[in-house]
Structure 1
Amino acid sequence: MLPRGTAVRRDSGLYGYERALARCGLAPVAGADEAGRGACAGPLVAAAVILPEGKRGEVPGLADSKLLRPATREKVYDQVLRRAAAVSVVVITPDEIDRVGLHRSNVAALRRALAKLTLPAGYVLTDGFPVAGLGVPGLAVWKGDRVAACIAAASVVAKVTRDRMMAELHEQYPQYGFDEHKGYCTAEHNAALAAHGPCAHHRFSYVNVRTAAGLRVSAGAVDDNALIAEEMGEGEYR
């Protein structure tokens, strides 16, 4: 929870959380987010970012990565790396997601990204999911990448990092169109799965991948349709 007596006004802007926490002596504030949660192929990438206080920490064009066009997102990514006080990235492979489970992998990735920061955080903001065991207070913020600058910065770093990895995978497996849908469960991707079957970089704990591979769909398989509604409805794959 936020410190007692601390309130963040709705009109305080993208940097309102960081400024309010700094006034309480809880700076620096770290933000963490992930990209690729809803994809059925490719890695899950988590990033953590600490932005410095003041003008240097105000990143031009910063917003939720899903709301930025690819060219703009690349420019914002460069600005985040140039301005950030600390940045870290963690990559979770499809094998680990299949072995550990999507949600546990997601939370572990956020925790590992925050632990890798070279600058100790005074407070942690995460997008959506609470992360325990950090040794500092924190808050899970619904749609945090739209209301907190450090989370938005982490979302951009995670998204650009993962998109570049998916572009490299496209060079190895052009039949799937990874450069377009980035491994998400689009109609085109499912058609390619039906035609070619899955590759080693698909997540075999997902219903559509198991179906394409001719494997039995277990009760614990990830419902890719639910993830489509959760993430692709916001244009996450762009």
Structure 2
Amino acid sequence: MLAPPRTVVRREAGLYALEQALQRRGFRHVAGADEAGRGACAGPLVAAAVILPEGKRGEIPGLADSKLLTAAARERVYDQVVAKALAWSVMIIPPAEVDTRGLHVCNLAAMRRALASLTVRPEYVLTDGFPVDGLGVPGLAVWKGDRVSACVAAASVLAKVTRDRLMIELHDRFPDYGFAVHKGYITEEHSTALAAHGPCPEHRFSYVNVAAASGRGNRPPRARRPVSTTAPSLFDDVSVTEPLLIPGTAEGTVGVASGEQPQPSPSVGEDKAMEGETR
């Protein structure tokens, strides 16, 4: 029996070429997933998943990797993605959950939950950078997928805009840190504020720069977060053992969830001061 011919998609073919090639192979509903906030030492980790319509209906003017867009352009693209997508979903992982389970485990759980929450079942999944298993459908991890695949780029915009909005809200509650400017990434301004004021409840105490500023640097990563704080967390009133789904549109959901039962996590993201990003 002859194997089917390989499909070759050239990078210069454009942002929609990969989905179109998959659709020609019979995978009509191609979902993309991406995250925002891996490199931040404060604020939540946010993952999003998007299925765009086939053909011209799924084309989003100005769509690109969220890091390449201005804040105003991201907001415009966000509105168009939400309006045009067949389905979209956003999952938010609070910083305390990142401390408890580890960054990489939370990242995978958030993308898995975002994909599982889509109201249209994907037939193929594209993820940015690394694979996500346990989806029940074929998938492909695409290097710099947010610059290669339209649905991954759309997911990157939803995740980034959602997280930026949350960080602006946190800035109103914790104005000493400048969250509205650096969005929780490790910048000189943020490091100066950490040294002057110590961490707030929305910092990730498993990151060495936060642990050092809190005076808990000699404790195991999961023991660094204080049991109680004087200021409540943005997520204190939300149970994260199961996803809380809040309707976004007829085909969209936003949720706060941990994903799965606790398990040993890799060392990625723990005991490392992640480099800041200008997003």
- 1:75-110 residue CA offsets vs partner (Å, 9 max, x unmatched): 010010111000000000001100000011111111
Q: Is the 8 A contact 1:130 1:140 kept in 2?
A: yes
Aligned to 1:79: 80
Q: Distance in 1 between matches of 2:141 and 2:96?
A: 27
Q: Distance in 2 between matches of 1:216 and 1:58?
A: 48
Aligned to 1:67: 68
Instruction: Select the structure that is richer in helix.
Output: 1
Q: Is the 8 A contact 2:27 2:123 kept in 1?
A: yes
Q: Is the 8 A contact 1:51 1:86 kept in 2?
A: yes
- 1:162-183 residue CA offsets vs partner (Å, 9 max, x unmatched): 0000000000000000000000
- 1:123-180 residue CA offsets vs partner (Å, 9 max, x unmatched): 0000011000000000000100000000000000000000000000000000000000
Amino acid at match of 1:39: A
Give the unaligned 5+ runs of structure 1: none
Amino acid at match of 1:109: A
- Which runs of structure 2 are paired with 1:1-238 in the superposition (5 Å)? 5-217=6-218, 218=220, 221-224=270-273, 227-228=274-275, 232=277, 235-236=278-279
Q: Distance in 2 between matches of 1:201 and 1:37?
A: 14
Q: Runs of 4 or more off by more than 6 Å in structure 1?
A: none
2:12 partner SS? coil
TM-score, length-normalised on structure 1?
A: 0.93
Aligned to 2:263: none
Q: CA deviation at 1:216?
A: 2.2
Amino acid at match of 2:38: R
Q: Distance in 2 between matches of 1:15 and 1:100?
A: 35
Q: Is the 8 A contact 1:40 1:184 kept in 2?
A: yes
- 1:39-80 residue CA offsets vs partner (Å, 9 max, x unmatched): 000000000000000111000000000000001110010010
Which stretch shows the higher mean deviation, 212-221 or 179-188?
A: 212-221
RMSD of aligned C-alpha atoms?
1.3
Q: 1:4 to 1:185 in 2, by over 3 A?
A: farther
Larger radius of gyration: 2
Q: Is the 8 A contact 1:107 1:129 kept in 2?
A: no
Q: Is the 8 A contact 1:42 1:183 kept in 2?
A: yes
Amino acid at match of 2:44: P
Percent identical among aligned pairs is: 67
